[in-house]
Amino acid sequence: MYRHFGKRMIDMILSGIGIVVFAVPMFVIALLIKVSDPGPALFRQKRVGIHKKHFMLLKFRSMKLSTPHDIPTHQLKNPEQYLLNIGAVLRKYSLDELPQLFNIFKGDMSIIGPRPALWNQKDLIKERDKYGANHVKPGLSGWAQINGRDELEIPQKAKLDGEYVKKISFWFDCKCFFGTIGKVVKHDGVVEGGTGRQECKIQYKNK
């Protein structure tokens, strides 16, 4: 019942409230981005949604317009050279993700779920297929994000996404939600331009 009805209802309510509450901060962020680097404050990026259907994810632009498109940050050579002055702060506190509240309200995403892969991250998509993680809506945050975030290797990330799929429930989503808040406040697991730099600190016992 929760998976098919309750989860979507909660997504709509929370994303709607979030859009109202963060309307002014989002407006200010957009202005700061445009002052830092003339151009659109938002950018759209093709991501993989439920059942591997593509959708356009919204983010605040934290990098310069000259940055190569559709390339994961960890694959860029010296990614810091592309960051806007405000970009590091946006990423450190995940403020660049705020526009995804609109993706959630629309129904492309959920509050909690596996982070949506880029359309060309075929290695991650393939690994997630092993665990059924491509058959749930991607999320703003998820189980993998509170267990390592950018530090995780792809096989570890996909395995954690699979754990989430098995355990989806209201209480497990709450655990991920409040765990995300703690991670954002402490900005744990953020590795600019990298992935898998540390071993995963998994919060469950390996079977």
Render pLDDT for 82-105 as a digit per residue (tens, 0 to 9): 788 888 889 888 899 999 999 999
Q: What is the mean pLDDT of residues 165-187?
A: 89
Half-sphere exposure of 137 (CA within 13 A, CB side): 19
Rounded distance between C-alpha atoms, residue 141 and residue 177, angstroms: 7
pTM here is 0.83
Mean pLDDT, residues 154-172 taken together: 94
| 99 Cβ neighbours under 8 A, 6+ residues apart | 26, 42, 58, 59, 60
The pLDDT assigned to 201 comes to 41
Stretch 111-140: mean pLDDT:
94
**Mean pLDDT to the nearest integer, 183-194:** 58
Residue 55: its H or E element: strand 54-60
Q: Which has more pLDDT, 126 or 68?
A: 126
